[in-house]
Structures are given as C-alpha cells and as structure tokens.
Structure 1
Amino acid sequence: MLKFLSRPAVRLVERYLPDPYIFVLLLTLIAATAAVAVERQTPLAVMRFWGDGFWGLLEFSMQMLLVLVTGFMLASSPPVKRLLERLAGKAKNAGGAILLVTVVSLAASWINWGFGLVVGALFAKELARQIRVDYRLLIASAYSGFVVWHGGLAGSIPLTIATDGHFSVEQIGVVGTGSTIFSLFNLAIVACLFVAVPLVNRMMLPDDKDSVYVDAAQLDDTPPARSRITRPAERLENSQALAWLVGIPGLIFLADHFLLRGGSLNLNIVNFLFLFLAIVLHRTPRRLLDCLHEAIKGGAGIVIQFPFYAGIMAIMVESGLAQSMSEGLVSFATETSLPFWSFISAGIVNLFVPSGGGQWAVQAPVMLPAAEALGADVSRIAMAVAWGDAWTNLLQPFWALPVLAIAGLKAKDIMGFCLIQLFVTGAIISVGLTWF
C-alpha cells in the first residue's frame, strides 16, 4: 500500500514543489501578506521587520556551511571512506540498504542533529556506490532519520529548559531532562520511530521500472593524484608533519573539553571535531584542500537562502503572527488534548520559523500559560513543541539543504517520499504525546 501511495506523492512533489529558493521567496510573501492582513501591520513596518532581521542567522548560516564542508572532508578521508565501505557492505540488496541507512541516520540524529544530517547523507552515497537502489529514496531515507533530533540528546528545547537561568525559569523552574528527553513517553516515541521509519522507507521501495538509479562513477569524489613536487611551497602543502602539528592539538582540546571540563556536544563542537579529524586523517594540507574544493560546491543554497529565512522569522515574531497562530490553535484545547494541539501548532509555525530555539522563544509565552491554566504537564507540552518543530522538517526543505548538497539532488527528488513519512510519523508522535 505504501509503495502504491508513494508513487502519486512523488509525482505530485516532482511536478509542483519548486526549488527551495523559490519556496523561501513564496514563504516570504505569505508571511508578509499575513502580517498585514491578520496583524494589521503596515507594509512599511513589515518591510522593516524583514530587513532588520535579514542577517539574524549569519552565525548559524556559517555553522551549517561548516557542517556540510567539514563533514564532507571527514567522510572523504581514506580511513573514514574505508569504514563507510565496510559498513555499507553489510547491506546485501536494495531493501537492506534502505533499512541500514535509515537506522544509521536515526541513531546519528538522536545523538546530534548536525552529525546526523551529514553522516546519513554521506553513508547513503557510499551505499549507492555499492548497491543498485533507487537513489531518491536512499537519500530521502537518510534525511527521514532527522525527524528524531528534537527528542534526542541535542534537543534545543529540552536542553534550554534544563538550564538554570533560562528565560522562563521564574514561571516553570528548571525542568530536568529526566522529565523530557529521558521521560517514558518521549523514549516510547523514539523507540516507535526507530521501528516505523525504516519499515515505511523499505515499503516505499519502487519497482525496478519506477526506480531512478545513479551511476556509481558520478559519486566518486576521490581527489586527483598530485604531480611530482618541484617547489619548496609544495613541500609545505604536502607536509604530514605540518598537518599533525595543528591537527593533534585540536583533538587534545576536544579530549579536554569532554573529559576534564565535562563539555557538551553542540554544533560548534561537532564542526570542530569534523574539521580536526579531517586535518589529521587527510595527512597533508594539500589533500585536505583538494577535498575542500569539492565540498564547497554544494553550499550555495545555504548561503543564499538562510538570510531569507531569518527575515521570515523576524516578520513572524515581530508582527505577532507566530503568537496569534499558536493562540488560535490552543484556544479550544483541553488538558488531554493540549499536547496534541501544541504539536500541531509547532509544526505549522516551523514552516516559517525553522529553528528549534527560536520557535520556543515564540511559542513558550503562549503554551506555558495555557498549560498552567489547564493543569497540563509542562514538560510534555515543551516536548510537544519540540516534536512539532522536528516533524514538519519532512516537508520544509530548510534542513534538507546540506543533505541535498552532499547528494547532488533537488528537494523535489526526495520530498515525495518524505511526505508519506510526514503522515506516518505525525500519527505516531500524536498518539505518543496524548496517550503514552
């Protein structure tokens, strides 16, 4: 049945889903129009919100570009490529490849979302080199594992409210991760998704006549062989000692960060880890630079689109539109149904504000008073917003950009499969938040 349903979904998305750049332009116009029509803001005020917030994600844009580049360089290093090759060899057929890449992506995303995005895409490429499998579904499977990130170790909302001094601490206090990430209901949702998401991807595997394959030779990103060294500068570029004199101290810093200082795994640390492992494992600066040249080609979408999303977020927040949307959806909720409606409202807001931390700042002033008034569990409401934020990433191409850049595909190639997962995972999460 899922194979039957996925065919029209794929055709629909391939025909009507525009390039992510067009998508973000349309979202900009929709948000601006809604701010004028619903919030009674003047066009001048909306334009100012948009322009003032346009560069609000510059730091995050650079972080995401580095996720793409450093992850690509690390996975292209000889030792990691051999490891991926051996792991990919565990899959004996197309169905096994779909299951394996989904499980790897789910596990990596639960540990850290940036880690999961890159590892899943790079592992999918390695599987495509070894096994004849529909390349669109393979990459969609790698991306679908991202749905668990906000219920995992790096979930920004549960980690925020577990931090002393967070912006709503006077209202709800410090809510430990034992009540959110490691709560029974959240672990049950994660466990169900670890079973359901791989199986759904496997059941969507197209027949051979409907599959789209990729030539393994097109996926080869091995840098060209270097010519004989003739200049002193080339000796520095090919110096293993120079690379290790910088790379090894970077790894020692990471050991100090985790072991002696008890540091956490955040996006900057993930990028630092990827970069310095790549420096060491590539062994020479020249090999790293050759790999960098290939990696940077896929970053154009991040560079041009993320500022537009920052502008959309500013319109949604400053105009009051995001708050009005949230208030409207929870206005008729009960104590039992509030987690569900919080989840749905977060999923809708996420289409315009695709940032977990930013979304909590917008929705917390609405959700927390509603939870207190109805006597609902605050930790469950916070996780409902977290899951809603993660859920509609299966529809919103914002987070797919690094994956698509690594894979060399367009959003329309994978979002048809993700649309099926959107409905399946939405049902599982809704039941989990309401009944578990």
Structure 2
Amino acid sequence: MKVGQLYVYPVKSLRPTTITEGILTTRGFQYDRHFMLLKVIMAEDGSGTTTLKNMHVTYFPEMTLFHTDIQYPKSEEDKGKLIVTYRPAPFSESASGSEEIKRLEIPLQPDVKSLTPFQITMHKSPTTGYNMGAEINDWFSAHFGFPVVLAYLGPSSREVLGTLAPAKKGKKAALGTERETLSSEKKWGAIFPVLIVATAISMASQGSTLFRHGIASEAARSLAPALLLTTGTFVALLYYYASLQAPHEDRITFADCAPYLVISEKSVENVSARLPDGEEMDRTKFRPNIVITGAEEAFEEDFWSALTVRAESGRESAKLLLTGNCVRCASLNVDFETGKMGTGEAGTVLKKLMKDRRVDAGAKFSPVFGRYSFLEPKSDGVTLRVGDEVTVSERGKDRTTFGEFLLGWDIEGSMANSSVLDWPGLTN
C-alpha cells in the first residue's frame, strides 16, 4: 500500500489544502486546524450580550464554499500565508450582494501578542483562542451573511477526549514496537539511577579531596575541569532520567478527536459504487488527512491498529497508531459546490452507509468510515510524502468500540453540536 493523498485543513470545516508532502507532528500536520470560525449570537433580550457558537459544516454547509491554500514559510523570518478564496455557488450572489472581494490573505503564524484571547470549548475540551480582528472577521461575515469571528489557536492546544489517545492511562499499547520501546525505557530506567548515584559519589569524592584535605589552589585548579565535567554529566543524567519517567501527553488542535484521520481509497470506491453511474464520492467529504491506496478490501482499515510508513531515498519512517473509529454525521450529505445539503442520491450518502456500516457497538446509530490516528512520539518531525510505502504494523482481531474512549461523551449529539460560549464585550 502507499500514501495516495494528503490533506491539511488550516481552518476547521473549510475546504482542505491538498499537499504532496507534510511534516508530521504529534498534534497533526503542520498548520492543520489552527484556525476555526465561530458565529456571533446576540441575546434576544436586547441586553447587547453576545455568545459565540462553534461552526461545523453539518450546521453551516456554506462553509464548503471557502477554499484554502497555504504558502509555507521559506525562511525563519517568513511567517507564511493562509489564502482563503470564497467561490459562491453558481448563479448566486454572496451575502453582501457583491462579488468583488473573494480572496483573503491571513498570516499563517500571527503574533498572538497583538490579538485578544478568549476561551473556546470543543466537546468539553477547553482551550484558549485568539480573535483575529475586525478586518478579517468582517470579510467572513460579509460572505456568510451574519457576524462571525475567526479564532487562531496559537501556542494553545486541547486535551484529547477520553482514552482515545495511546498515552492515556489504562490504554493498551496499540503497537508492538511501542511496547518494546516502553520495555527498553524501563531497562534504562533501572540503570540510570545507578549511574546517577555513581556520578554523585564521584562528585562527593572529588569535592572531599578539594575541600576537606586543603589541597593547594594550583592543584585545585587542575582538578576543577574534572569536577565540572562530572557535575555536567550528573545534571545530564538526571535530566534524561526525568524525561524517561515523564509520560507523553497527546494534545490536539481544533480537530474533533485526534490529530489525524486515515481512510482508504478502496473504501471511497465502495461508497462511489453506491451512487448512480457517473457519480463519484468526493473523498474530502470524509475530512481525511491521509488517504491510503492499495488496500485489498474495502473497510479493512476497521482492523488496522498501527501503520508504518517507509519513505524512499533514506528518509525516516513514521508510525501511526490507529486507536478508534470515526463515526459519521450528516456532513457527508453536503453538496460542496452549492454549499447546501445535497439533493438526489448524493444527498443520501449517510443513509446508504447506515445499511451496513453501523459496525461499532459504541455508536449503534452512526456508520463508521475511517480511523482516528495518533503519531508515535518518536516520529515527530518526520516528513510524509505521497507515494511513501505503507504497511500494517499491527492488526486488531476485533473492532474498537467508540464508547470505550469517550468517558460519558454525548455520542449522538456532541459529534455535530457546537458549544455556545459567553464572550462579554464582543462588539463585532
């Protein structure tokens, strides 16, 4: 199998940016879902109080009329650009009644010091976002026809829901090599205390020679480099030992549940076969980050627990841990060209999948398509490219269960419903 397509979603729920290579991080592809839109809602009592509602494509299908492109930084001084292009549905007018302004350039890495912070909560997982300001907000508001705010994540992140993340307490290791790594670290964890104690004894011995026996200053100076080296070694050993003991904590951006979503092209073809002749399922409706080609059977990814991606030309390999199913909602029925719910057969994709894809016991009323994925920490910073070879490192005997990692999360409502947040003082 190979990596067939790669996608980054710089603004949650808008159209993706197609890439041929991307840098993997434990929080997703670089710049993936670092922005999101929120609708401004005025209080009905006339008090002037405003709240913000997270915008998701299920309830705001017109979000699919906004296309994104990324101009990646070319140097340390270059911060890059996010380009958003509004392409209205054929024969329609934008909310502002004018088609003059369709393209907006946004700093890819804004300086948060100049932005106003506020709290954002997604699926009970709060974080801090930054208001991008009136000029940018007004551009989006004009096209949506109601006031919105564009939020930037900045240095913030969100806690991963339930026990979906591999590092969560009580979660079984999803990859055999991860267990080997943990075993290796345990061995080093047993050795390092001995090394640290030995180094401390050496330091004490040298210190005793210098200070308790009154060595002459010239001789003391000759011993000083050795003492300094021993002290540095002690500090380094202590720091490294501490890093082994600190468990890795998985964090996410404005993505719903996990840093990555993996699907197979074979499964997309299965959905296309359910549509009338000549119609194909748009794979981006599934919001994947990584599309795998070459699978033998449709939906075999239901049982993938881990994937190893091997690159050619000597680049490092990467490991992805697939920990849970992605259960689907009505967003699959959206017509991306009109920005409305689809008509005809294309508007019933969710219903079609209901017939045989309700295969997760933890979400009995929702069909499954794709797998949530996390990056093994050692693969952080590895570049993934279209065409890289993919192998299944570990395959589960049974399907994972959606409810096992949610810890009381509202399965039927929270996947699509947005939280409403108080934001006093909002004026635009």
If the length of structure 2 is used for normalisation, what is the TM-score?
0.24
More helix by share: 1
Higher relative contact order, chain-length normalized (CA < 8 Å, sep 6+): 1
